[in-house]
Structure 1
Amino acid sequence: MLAQQTWLVTPQSNRIGIRLAGEQSLARAVSGELPSEGTTVGAIQVPPSGQPVLFLADHPLTGGYPVIGAVATYHLDKAGQIPVNARIRFNPLSAFEPVRSATSDETNNR
């Protein structure tokens, strides 16, 4: 569902995270909080509203909502520049694609 719709970057976005709004909220298997666990920049967390948050530079150290994915490290600088009211889409990658893409980007920039 995350990659199947366009998401609007809301005015509640900041250095902590990009708050997204979609036409359809993401369904959660567990409605309450989960045990707290460490978070990382680029993680996509789903709070009870079903509207995801993409964690940025000042993300919290721990979180208690499901993490359904992460943005590839080499795209995080671009993610931090997305303006409010922009519309974005996520493209799923296999576990090995980010490594290949990052390597080819570095090769092309030399």
Structure 2
Amino acid sequence: MKLTVVSAGLSTPSSTRLLADRLAEVARADLTGQGHTVSIEVVELRTLAGDIAHHFVTGFAPPRLSAAIDAATAADGLIAVTPVFTASYSGLFKSFFDVIAPDALTGSRS
């Protein structure tokens, strides 16, 4: 089972990333206890901010962003964590999910 963690924390170290890691480990322990083999991939949006902006301007995802999108859309499970800004999710978090095709996370695979 593939689990992808998307972290929109901006600092290093990031409390958002620490929360994401804890959630991932709890999920791994629970799924492993149910007999699943779990692999976890982490996507740090902070390192992809320029690539996300590039995608908005050109309509094409640079390779690192394309890999992150593939990781999120191919996962069996997704943990998405963002800091709160003005009582909402961060713009970086929203921008990442905006570049993903609208039906890519519906759970139906062809």
| TM-score for both structures, normalised by structure 1 | 0.22
> Which has a greater percent of helix?
2
Q: Which has the higher contact order (CA 8 A, sep 6+)?
A: 2
| TM-score for both structures, normalised by structure 2 | 0.22
